[in-house]
Structure 1
Amino acid sequence: MRGNVMKKNYLAVAVLAALTSTSQQAMAQTQDIERIEVVGSYFNGYQVDNASGATRTDTSLLETAQAVTVIPELIMDEQLATTLGSVLANDASLSPGSKQRNREVFYSRGFALSSSTGYLRDGHQHWSHYQQPIETLSSVEVIKGPSSILYGQSAPGGLVNMVTKKPTERRLFDLSADTDQNGSTRFMLDAGGALTEDLSYRGILVKQDVVYDREYHNGEQRERDRFLGSIALAYQVSENLSVDVYYDQTDDKAGLDTGAWLDSDGDLIGDEKTIYDFSWAFTDIRVNNIGGNATYHFNPQWTVKLGYNQQNFERQRFESAPRKPADYAEGDSYTSQYYDRYDDWQFKTAYVDFTGEFATGDIEHQVLIGMNSLDYYYEQRRTTPVAVDYTPGQPEPLKPDISYKSDDSLYISEYDYYGFYFQDLVTINDEWQLVFGGRFDQQNREGADSESFVPKLGALYHPNEDATIYLSYSEGFEPASSETLNDENDANHGMALDAVTSEQIELGAKWQVSDRLMVETAIFDIKKSGALVTESLDGGSGADTITTQSGLQRHKGIELSAQGAVNDRLFLMASSMYLDAEYEKDDTYQGMTPVDAPEWSASIWSRYEVTEKLALNAGLFYQGERYADSENTVTKDAYTRVDFGATYQAEISGIPVDYRFNIENLLDTDYLAGGGVNNVTVGGGRMARFEVRASF
């Protein structure tokens, strides 16, 4: 293993050196290219003025009656982010969950984001059961609160919309390489430009090898091997019609790490580097997206947009599946249940949006009328688990000779849904605006057809052109997996099941303090109702239990954020949240707090320009005390992680070169991140990373 790390470091150094040296041919090419030097204002990219995912229209944040955070590409680059979790840490309303099996789980305002309904990619529902290829993203929009009116079934906490990089007419050719002290490497090519007068492109290639701190019982470190390829084309067919198509593929193979184990006091059991899975356990995925969009302008006021995306997700997971005993202590034996599993998900999404502007007298309207749909298919094959006892210190068991291909059965799940939505932003005068709309949604699933209607209402008051005070009401829904309750021992066996619904009231304010700094605050109250509540009976009625659809979960809180330029040299993105989350009515968890929902959280990322070429970054990420189990018996301590970075811009033979050096967890703080008592993520120790980027 040490030899592999050294080889990767030598390779990284060689590539970094190659990027900083320039051939005579490159010099000759760049001499004919006009260069425009942008000083200071380049870093105004901290502030973003709109978020298309919040309203599906080009509406400014000051005219959006909802809390929305936009994390721009500039901050992702400064942080050398390689995972979506690194990006979302910049918004305190999002807390990290488990990272087991090479995927990330998140909570928004204390509610879990589902893999199937919590994420969007350019406005399409996106299956997010894997680590997202963030190198393809130009920004990440965090849309807070129930958002079913525009996207259908979704969780109460909100949605994460990943906005991809688009083809560019401006010539772009960036090469970068980064490495860390463990020997991890990432090489990236980002290219774009005009192929003809009307045709432009954007292409991205990434090769990444990751070496983790944590180790298997045989002393091997966990590793990950990832490849990403992406291509997008944009064609201006006519003055009024534009079309774009794209394709991307991710291949990602990694050793399995289902997380560390905690004792009843919330303390880590054993060494923080110990992985309970075996070294031969792995997950291997291939994900590709193919699709296109078309936009036609009937006139300056009316536009129609159409989009289609097909996502194919194949995964093999060869598991050792360790099981934590209830009273486990370091060195005790535990059971592993080997199995091999193959999953195939297919997501087909489409939408058509009509947007327009018109006036009725002195009142102006910005209208959206649209329809979107999703066709979901899933199949699974797997072997029968085989239980084996293992005691740490013994030789690791050999990889079992099993394969999912021996499974003659095939589990299949499929459904589809479509929805029609309407939204109108009404401008009454310079001070007052109203927004209202609704969605009708139809889900078709065997044994669980359902219909839903959700409204949205909002009022905005602008005391001046740089400020907004708003009050909004929105709803969300998550359809039931079956039409009726199926439990013959329950008094309500056969009861019709409705969708789990959510509603939010939000009062907020937004203030454009200067041309480059936005300050926002929001007070929210979210109720999630319709969860199943089961109570025991004394048996006199002939049934053991009685189940009703009356569960209630309530999350209340307040958020405060600032984003943009404080002055000509200091830029920041800061947020904080207070959250009161509780199961108000639940037979099992009455009065308890959901897992990984801290009462207090905060984040700050800042940039200070020392000179025109040298800039320093500092970050602080705080997660308050959280529960690791639903029963609220195991608590994880609060922690603060401090990061530091620096960028130096140079020019070698006329070619701009950026050098970046980052230290994550500068103070080497020990902490536990997301996850529960048997799958908690151990926070990484102090980690140094270095990147070189050349723009040809």
Structure 2
Amino acid sequence: MRSLLLFLALFSFTVSLGYSQNQISGKVTSQDGQPLIGVTVIVTKSKKGAVTNTEGYYSISNLPNGEIKLVANYLGYLAAEKTLILANNSQTVDFILQESNELLQEVVIASEREVGYVATTQTAATFGPRRMLDLPQSVSVITQEVLLDQQVRALGDLVRNDPSVIVSNPPGFNETLNMRGYNLDNSSSYRRENLIFQNQVVSPFENKAAVEIVKGPAAIRYGFTPPGGIINYVLKRPTKTPLVFIQGFGDSNGTVGVHGDFGGKVNQNFGYRINTVISEEASYVKGVSGPRQLFSALFEWTPTEKLTIDFEGEYQYRELEQQATLRLNSFSRDLSIEQQKQLIKDFDPRTFIGQKWGTYPTRNFVSSIGTTYKINADWKVQGRIQKMNLIRDQKAAGIVNRSLQANGDFVSEIFFDPAQVRDPLSIEAFITGKVKTFGLEHNLSIGGAYSNNPLKFSQGNAQFIAGPSNIFNPVELPFPEAKAGQSVEALVFTQKAAFVTDFIKVSEKLELLAAVRFTEQQNRDVFNDSGTLQESYRDNIFSPNFGIIYKPLENLSVYSSYATGVTNGLQIPSDAANFGTDIFLDPVETAQFEVGFKADLFKRVLLTGAYFDIDQPLAFLDQNNVFGYGGSQRHRGVETTFSGQVTDNFKVIVGGLYLNAVIDNPSQPNLDGQRPASVPELQGNIYADYAFDFVKGLSVNAGVFYTGDRFADNFGTFNVDGFTRLDLGSRYEFNLFGKNLTARLNVRNVTNIRFIEGLAFGSFLYGAPTTAIFSLAANF
């Protein structure tokens, strides 16, 4: 609270200072004099920018005195630069853009991800960038401007902007997501530059330009993944001119830190982007806090006009205590469901029921090398290889199964596994280009992929009793005599694949998609009689995709698609009768039908709508306590999104989801017809940002996030109430001593409601109480 008061005092002081009256405005047109809508105009050496309106006009206020360089970027046109001198005045700067032979310029794609609330292109659902309107699939892109304005520090902070995503966020641990009602897989559903990111560590966002959310089966690009979709982190790229961005940040929980972002070019052919963070993190749970350090660097080299090579690395260390969580199997069998619900209601989520020795230190290093070679104007070859090394020492204090009593008493245990290693290697290479045959234009992608993902952890029993405690009056317990077994390579997932995709342009209005991926998957583990690493699964599968895109108007497309996929088998519960000699079920095939539309309104707002129907075999515990497949889990839903800059002053992100998720298993009457666990029927989000004219540089924002009722089990017996969370915030951009500064204040959960946010893996994960997040940033 002391840090919050200090920030508010600083905020009030800076607002009272005078600010520069410098303003740049102008119009952007094509060579034939037509206004261009949606052009991104950026002030270099800063993160300030604007997007042209329906008449091609833009305006950027509150700029420092001195030399200013403007860059105008627009899809299908060459970037244009202009330099001018500001001295407490307003100037008009117009641009006339020339058309480019290349439809998609990488510089346009990179810049639009850092300015604005909507991106018109994506890279995660296809091989190489492709316009949203030319894609028969639902994809969301959360840009860096949204990350900054909402002060995103964790994955759960940003995915609330998409109505199809549910987050579960255990304090001190990594987050897990559910998309379109299906849980994502930590080993395959999270991607970084489209390659494997093992989601057992909290990903940093300071070095990310955007986050792409691909919804539905993604087997064509990623192979064995759950049918809900994937998350892809897009890295920041070198800036064309020098960038120095320094931000101090904190929150009312006690978090404090500093972030530096540096970009530019050493010479015409070599650029860099470096991000550093030093912070002390604190959770809303009292006593859960610890250090975090980040260093990342990306270098881009263009030795020739045709060849581009980038190489990068990212290191992060993070250590916090891990909060023990209430789970379905925590409660004593003597408690009724009403008694269990009362305990959940009465428990104060700010109370730390773990142990101070129960920390979760993670050291994560990931590095990659990528290359692009342009053969000619139509064809290019791309490839990337990435290696990740995650080391985590888990000393998690938890609740012994069935030990939680009506008065809050429970038995505390420790899960002790101090030498876990996640070491995935992933490679992807493909050639893209276009060719005409029989009057049809084929936009082809042909390539292959390889990944090897070993998981190393202790073999043998790693759970030890720590002693008695109480969720209302926790007891500090000594560290038990816990010794881990030998750390071995216990699980290895290896995948080899080849793929072909073809976007067939029949006419200016009609385009077809035909794609197929051949994937060979091999799983090896030590969960066998010999206790040695042996093959437990091997198969090869063809996954076809088909789609139709029809564009009755240039800015409107309607589409339908059929996608197949394959998902790795679920982990068998430790209390199941068949746990031990097996740890995972075999992979299964999935399928989705989707029909939808996308409209690019004024080149600044993207409106989308989709109906989807996903089917996946159901995994469940039968009457013999055997975990296996039977019946299906079918999710049919309608989702819509509306995001972008509605006016020069007003930006929004709006979304809604209706999801009819049903278990179909006639052989199990207690399951048949039920809604799957943790899946709401309704979910929605509204986030709006408004910039005032009468106070230059001042903006206010508000967010409303709704999640409907859910069940904690698959039997429809344990209902969990829905919730509506209200957020408020403000942003003030000003000039002080010739420097651009931005102060931000966001208050989440303003009404301080107590709610269950996530239900991943049978846990009751609370949302944070009222929290103020603040920052002060400077551009040099």
TM-score normalised by length of structure 2: 0.79
Structure 1 counterpart of 2:116, from 45, 68, 81: 45
Q: State the match for 1:222 in structure 2.
A: 288
1:55 partnered with 2:137:
no
Distance of aligned partners of 1:111 and 1:547 in 2 relative to their CA distance in 1, 3 Å threshold: closer
Contact 2:156 2:168 in 1 (8 A): no
Residue among 658, 663, 669 paired with 1:578: 658
One-letter identity of the residue aligned with 1:577: L
TM-aligned CA deviation for residue 274 of structure 1: 2.2
Query: What amino acid is the match of 1:653?
Result: F
What residue is the counterpart of 2:96 in the other structure? none
- C-alpha deviation, 1:533, in angstroms: 6.6
Q: Report if aligned partners of 1:634, 1:677 keep a CA contact under 8 Å in 2.
A: no
The equivalent residue for 2:465 is 387
Query: Within the alignment, does 1:518 sit opposite 2:606 as a pair?
Result: yes
Residues 249-282 of structure 1, C-alpha deviation per residue, up to 9 Å, x if partnerless? Answer: 0101010113246882434243332232112211
- Tell me if structure 1 keeps the 8 A contact 2:701–2:728: yes
- Distance in 2 between residues matched to 1:293 and 1:676, nearest whole Å: 35
Mapped to 2, the partners of 1:62 and 1:632 lie a distance apart of 39
State the shift of 1:548 in Å.
7.7
Equivalent of 2:353, from 276, 281, 286?
A: 276
1:322–1:101 distance in 2 versus 1, CA, 3 Å:
farther
Match of 1:174 in 2: 245
Residues in 2 aligned to 1:412 and 1:627: alpha-carbon distance in whole angstroms? 33
2:364 is equivalent to residue 364 of structure 1: no
Residue deviations 1:146-188 (CA, integer Å, cap 9, x gap): 0101111010111111111112222110000112222211210
Correspondent of 2:503 among 425, 434, 448: 425
Match of 2:754 in 1: 670
Q: Is the 8 A contact 2:275 2:297 kept in 1?
A: yes
Q: In 2 relative to 1, CA 80–545 (structure 1 residues): closer, same or farther, beyond 3 Å?
A: closer
Letter in 2 for 1:435: L
Counterpart amino acid of residue 523 in structure 1: Y
Residue 501 of structure 1: how far off its partner (Å): 1.0
Moved more, 502-511 or 666-675: 666-675
CA distance in 1, matches of 2:200, 2:628: 31
Which residue does 2:778 correspond to in 1? 694
TM-aligned CA deviation for residue 206 of structure 1: 0.9
Q: Name the counterpart of 1:435.
A: 513
Equivalent position SS for 2:221: helix
| CA distance in structure 2 between the partners assigned to 1:679 and 1:489 by the alignment | 22
Which residue of the other structure, out of 303, 318, 340, is the alignment partner of 1:237?
A: 303
SS at match of 1:560: strand
The answer to whether residue 681 in structure 2 is matched with residue 599 in structure 1 is: yes
Pairwise CA distance, 1:321: 2.3
**Matched residues in 1 for 2:11 and 2:255: separation?**
13
Report how far residue 381 of structure 1 moved.
Answer: 2.2
C-alpha separation in 1, matches of 2:492 and 2:349 = 41
For residue 372 of structure 2, the aligned residue among 292, 295, 310 is 295
Structure 2 Cα separation of the partners of residues 549 and 261 of structure 1: 24
Distance 1:673 1:535 in 2: 28
Higher mean C-alpha deviation, range 433-442 or range 267-276: 267-276
Equivalenced residue count is 663
Secondary structure of the corresponding residue to residue 313 of structure 1:
strand
Shift of 1:528: 0.5
CA 1:325 to 1:235, structure 2 compared with 1: closer, same or farther past 3 Å? Answer: same
The one of 471, 474, 497 aligned to 2:563:
474
Aligned residue for 2:158, secondary structure, equals helix
Give yes or no for contact 1:533–1:551 (8 Å, CA) kept in 2: no
1:258 to 324, 345, 351: 324
CA 1:111 to 1:533, structure 2 compared with 1: closer, same or farther past 3 Å?
A: closer
Equivalent residue for 2:741, pick from 646, 657, 664: 657
Q: Classify the secondary structure of the residue corresponding to 2:382.
A: strand
- After TM superposition, the structure 1 = structure 2 runs for residues 287-686 of structure 1, keeping only pairs within 5 Å, are 287-323=364-400, 325=402, 328-337=405-414, 339-381=416-458, 384-392=462-470, 393=473, 395-404=475-484, 407-408=485-486, 410-445=488-523, 446-479=535-568, 499-529=587-617, 531=618, 549-585=629-665, 587=668, 589-611=671-693, 612-675=696-759, 679-686=763-770
Do the aligned residues in 2 keep the contact of 1:12 with 1:185 (CA within 8 Å)?
A: no
**Aligned partners of 2:554 and 2:754: how far apart in 1?**
46
Q: Percent identity?
A: 24
Which secondary structure state, in structure 1, belongs to the residue aligned with residue 703 of structure 2? strand
Deviations 1:303-350 (A, max 9, x none): 000100000010001122222536622342434246343211110000
**Secondary structure of 2:763 counterpart:** coil
Task: Give a deviation string over 1:91-118, Cα, whole Å, max 9, x none.
Answer: 0100123526511011000000010111
Match of 2:149? 78
Displacement of 1:52 in angstroms is: 0.9
User: 1:254 is paired with a residue of what secondary structure?
Assistant: coil
Extract unaligned runs of 5+ from structure 2. 18-44, 46-63, 71-85, 94-110, 332-336, 524-534
| Conserved 8 A contact 2:225-2:568 | no
* Aligned residues of 1:276 and 1:322 also touching (Cα < 8 A): no
Letter in 2 for 1:512: D
Equivalent position SS for 1:681: strand
Over aligned residue pairs, what C-alpha RMSD do you find? Answer: 3.3
- 1:118 equivalent to 2:152? Answer no
Superposed displacement of residue 45, structure 1: 1.0
- Counterpart contact for 1:251–1:286, Cα < 8 Å: yes
- 1:548-601 CA distances to partner (integer Å, 9 max, x unpaired)? 854311000000110112222211111100001122127473322222211000
Residue pair 1:15, 1:177 contacting (<8 A) in 2 also: no
1:146 equivalent in structure 2 = 217
**Equivalent-residue separation in structure 2 for 1:546 and 1:209 (angstroms):** 45
Judge conservation of contact 1:455–1:475 (CA < 8 Å) in 2: yes
Q: Which residue of 1 aligns with 2:37?
A: none
Distance 1:461 1:191, change over 3 A: same
Distance 1:308 1:181, change over 3 A: same
SS in 2 for 1:107: strand
Q: Contact (CA 8 Å) 1:12, 1:177: kept in 2 or not?
A: no
**8 Å contact kept, 2:654–2:685:** yes
Q: 2:388 and 2:12 mapped to 1: Cα distance?
A: 35
Rounded to whole Å, the distance in 1 between the matches of 2:552 and 2:664 is 38
Between stretches 189-198 and 205-214, larger displacement belongs to: 205-214
Query: Displacement of 1:59 after TM fit?
Result: 1.5
Over residues 515-565 of structure 1, what are the superposed CA-to-partner deviations in whole Å (9 max), with x where a residue is unaligned? Answer: 211111000000012x557766xxxxxxx8999854311000000110112
CA apart distance, 1:361: 4.0
Does the residue aligned with 1:258 lie in a helix, a strand or coil?
coil
Matched, 1:247 2:313: yes
**Greater relative contact order, per chain length (Cα 8 Å cut-off, separation 6+):** 1
State the distance in 1 between where 2:451 and 2:190 align. Answer: 13
Q: Which residue of structure 2 aligns with residue 159 of structure 1?
A: 230
Structure 2: distance between partners of 1:334 and 1:39: 70
| 1:33 CA drift (Å) | 4.4
Using a 3 Å threshold, how does the CA distance of structure 1 residues 90 and 39 change in structure 2: closer, same or farther?
A: farther
Amino acid in structure 2 at the alignment position of 1:681: L
Match of 2:163 in 1: 92
1:97 and 1:596 in contact (8 A); partners too: no
Cα distance change of structure 1 residues 131 and 394 upon mapping to structure 2, 3 Å threshold: closer
